[in-house]
Amino acid sequence: MSDNGGTAVPLLAARDLAKAHGRTRALEGASVDLAAGEILAVTGASGSGKSTLLHCLAGIVRPDEGTVTYGGERLDELPEKRLSELRRTEFGVVFQFGQLIPELTAVDNVGLPLLLAGATRAEAQQRAGEWLERFGVRGQAGLRPGAMSGGQAQRVALARALVTGPRIVFADEPTGALDSLASEQVMTALIGTARESGTAVLLITHDAQVAAYADREIRLADGTVARAGVTA
């Protein structure tokens, strides 16, 4: 089964993806479309292939079979350098935890993608500060991740993912380690910013409440799309 999303020209299109980890088949012929500005939730049980699908779509891993097309480029064929550049400029990636550098302060973590793109430290820190303000964690600018709460660290991670103005944000269980209040704060910040800036979001979650923030939901089972539909 596949998901065509009902869009004429999708921003990101994956066709018949297959990926195995050793002997385990994580994806088996999954197809997904993501439109510009769309918020798509991918749900499914543990081991259904959700994270592997995100890794393939974000160019973090190459599928064994199938294609991933973004802006006319075949991600599954691009060299690692170009993929890295895409993830730095066009995509934002948020995980459950671990994406912040523990030794850098919040403001430097958020400014890192800008530094990598050639901005000066002062420019990077200024823009990072603005994004921290937007996500309500300006007060934590000088703190390192270890000194922040889980919700604060995750909002800093969102700011880092969005600071370069990406067209797509890939979020893998972004609230998986948070309590319900912190989850709500993080999701409100993510969805609000995405709607405002027209950024598409591919959201991996097993939480129905989190999936409800999306425009559309697809459910994975045994590595393929088992159900697709508009969320309530």
Partner 1 sequence: MSSLMSDLRLAWLLTRGSDRREWWRVLLTAVGATAAAGLGLVVAVLLPLKGHHRVSVGGGLLDEPGTRIGVVAALLLLFIPVLGFLGQCARVGAVHRDRRLAALRLAGAGPGQTRRIAALESGLACLAGSAVATAFAVPALLRLWHSPVPLAWAGIAVVTVGVPVLGAAVSALMLRAVVASPLGRIRRLRPAEGPGRLFRVATAVLALTVVYILTTPFHDVPFEFALTPLTVFGVCLLIGAVAVWLTGASARQLGEGVAARAQRPAVLIAAERLREDPWAAARTHAAVLLVTVVGSGFMGIRQVLLSVLRDRADRYAEGIGFYENGLNLVGLALLFALALVLTALAVGTAESVATRRRGLAAQVAAGVPYPVLARATLLETAVPLAPALTLAGLGGTTIGVWYGAAASEHTAIPVPYDALLVPLGVYAACLLAAATSLPLLRRSVRPGELRYA
Residues binding partner 1 (CB under 8 A): 21, 51, 55, 58, 60-61, 81, 84-89, 91-93, 95-96, 98-99, 101-105, 108, 112-113, 115-116, 120-121, 144, 160-161
Q: Are 138 and 129 in contact (CB under 8 A)?
A: yes
Considering the complex, what minimum distance in angstroms separates the CB of residue 217 from partner 1? 23
Considering the complex, what minimum distance in angstroms separates the CB of residue 211 from partner 1? 21
The conformational region for residue 106 under phi > 0 = left, psi -120 to 50 = alpha, else beta, is alpha
Considering the complex, what minimum distance in angstroms separates the CB of residue 6 from partner 1? 30
Nearer to partner 1, 112 or 186 (CB): 112
Nearer to partner 1, 69 or 89 (CB): 89
Nearer to partner 1, 103 or 133 (CB): 103
Nearer to partner 1, 161 or 211 (CB): 161
Q: Which residues pair with 91 in a beta bridge?
A: 168
What distance lies between CA 99 and its chain's CA centroid? 12
Output DSSP code: residue 52. H
Nearer to partner 1, 110 or 228 (CB): 110
Q: Euclidean distance between the first and final Cα of the chain, in Å?
A: 22
CA 174 – CA 172 distance, rounded (Å): 5
Residue (of 5, 2, 23) closest to 202 by Cα position: 5
CA 141 – CA 149 distance, rounded (Å): 13
Considering the complex, what minimum distance in angstroms separates the CB of residue 83 from partner 1? 9
Considering the complex, what minimum distance in angstroms separates the CB of residue 105 from partner 1? 8
